[in-house]
Structure 1
Amino acid sequence: MGYRMGGLICMLGLGAKYLDEIRNLVDRIEKTQSASIAQAAEAIVESVTQGGAVHILDTGHMLMNELFGRAGGLMMPRPVNIKMEVDNPGPARPGKTKEMVYLDEIPGLPEFILDRSDIYPGDVLIIGSVSGKNALPVGLALLARERGIKVIAMTSVAYSSSLTPQHPSGKRLFEAADIVLDNCGVIGDAILEVEGLDTKAMPTSGIAAACLMWTLEAEIIDRMLKRGLTPQVWKSNHLPGAGEFNRRALEETERVGY
């Protein structure tokens, strides 16, 4: 493998190793996750065709940016964004700094999220957390299931299994969900041993998440079309007529839910 620069063929080094690992990763996803993807697709189709909706909450690894408004992607998923900020600039106080408070440390946050969101029984909630160990995604998954909401976890089972769960239940996300989409990542996420570095380099969770979710969306489209239903898909804004196309498609999505 190489690329041309100034008339010379330059070979990839570490980049080639990473691409090999990604090819292997995609193969593992296909071989081990196809049944779970099919199960997740069926659950989503059943929900949205009966008046439900599909929601996505991700704890920071790409899904919220990757899936929404993307050309070729489904219009139906609804993002769950949690915004809790205190903006209070003050004078300099040497030696007086407060520790950061993480979302996992806020009591009652899963209840607050579900109570204030537009998520209802019969809906599907996709929760993304690579480590799957923190209290918020686990607590949210458990509470959502109690309320009749189907929960799909996007996580790394191997990585999560090596970590101590932070939720009082003692569960990790993959143990708290109805359906698990395993990103097939390794412990620590990074995949390459690199001479000269003290830790592994190059994560796989972002590419794996994109692979899993776009495969899931393809399955949703396939299953709906086989039922005689047409889910709305974003058209690239750079193509002629895209603005009007997307406007009408969004109106249809709001009308029927997909």
Structure 2
Amino acid sequence: MFAAFDEQVRTRLSQLQSSAQSGGLDEAVEVMVDSIRNDGVLQAFGTGHSQAFAMEIAGRAGGLIPTHAIALRDTVLKGDRPASDLEGGLLERDDNIADEVWGLHEFHPADVFLIASNSGVNGSIVGIALRAKQEGHKVIAVTSLEHTNAVAPKHPSGKRLAEIADVVIDNLAPFGDATVPLGDQADDGVLAGAVSSITAAYIAQLLTLGTAERIRTAGGTPPLYLSANIPGGDEHNDALKARYGERIGSMA
């Protein structure tokens, strides 16, 4: 069982590495580099388990400083919704929540949106992508093409995330996300071993590496976080974060 899951994960990560090595992420990297060069911030958004992608992009050691994570909980922390609204998955599927979330943040013209969703069809995900495009921002999507093409759109626009984005990156997760059949359940379609969070996090790191290297080879200094848990980390980070202020969030 463990070996089977290891194979499922390793195979997908190897595919992603090969794709990156052969230029498969170059378009996304170029969009990110252009944003940073023009004083933009990389705005990361995901719901459910895809929040892990946003956490890999924004505000972590070894990551790019001009990054900011958007979350549905912002409607409670920054807005007027009660915490009880975060229970269950209703906000994730809410067709109208995007404008509410949008109004809680400051976005600049050069900002780029990196949106992760395995299914790519829920209302909040599609809504944010549509609003970003409406406002003139580039959108990079990380989604399962196998899954999203197998399910019906849920947003009133009839769109999937992959149909809105300027750049689409396949996270290689299968339909339903899980990969390993368990014993007697092998014949009833019940699987364990979901992979989308793992592959999305790997994609986030590949994009970060690619962007930092592109900036370096062009003669610049990549604006990267040091761990706050090493000597001098806070001082290094605070000096670079000051350029962006609240645009990257006080908790970045």
TM-score in terms of structure 1 length: 0.81
- Choose the corresponding residue for 1:232, options 216, 223, 228: 223
Equivalent position SS for 2:33? helix
Q: 1:86 aligns to what?
A: 82
Corresponding pairs, count: 233
Greater percentage in helix: 2
Q: Percent identity?
A: 31
Unaligned runs of 5+ in 2: 76-80
Q: 1:15 aligns to what?
A: 2
Q: 1:210 aligns to what?
A: 201
Separation in structure 1 between the aligned mates of residue 130 and residue 220 of structure 2, nearest angstrom: 32
Separation in structure 1 between the aligned mates of residue 158 and residue 95 of structure 2, nearest angstrom: 17
Letter in 2 for 1:64: A
TM-score in terms of structure 2 length: 0.82
Answer yes or no: is 1:175 the counterpart of 2:171.
no
Unaligned runs of 5+ in 1: 1-13, 89-98
Distance change in 2, residues 1:17/1:162 (3 Å): same
Deviates more, 1:60-69 or 1:199-208: 60-69
Answer yes or no: is 1:243 the counterpart of 2:234.
yes
Deviation at 1:218, TM superposition (A): 0.4
Separation in structure 1 between the aligned mates of residue 83 and residue 209 of structure 2, nearest angstrom: 42
Deviation at 1:163, TM superposition (A): 0.7
- Choose the corresponding residue for 1:102, options 77, 87, 90: 90
The equivalences for 1:1-258 within 5 A come to: 14-32=1-19, 35-61=23-49, 62-83=52-73, 84=75, 85-86=81-82, 102-104=90-92, 106=94, 108-197=96-185, 198=188, 199-251=190-242, 254=245
Equivalent position SS for 2:175? coil
Deviation at 1:65, TM superposition (A): 3.4
Equivalent position SS for 1:55? strand
Equivalent position SS for 2:226? coil
Q: 2:78 aligns to what?
A: none
Deviates more, 1:15-24 or 1:207-216: 15-24
> Which has the larger Rg?
1
After superposition, the CA RMSD in angstroms is 2.5
Separation in structure 2 between the aligned mates of residue 248 and residue 107 of structure 1, nearest angstrom: 39
Letter in 1 for 2:225: W
Equivalent position SS for 1:210? helix
Distance change in 2, residues 1:213/1:104 (3 Å): closer
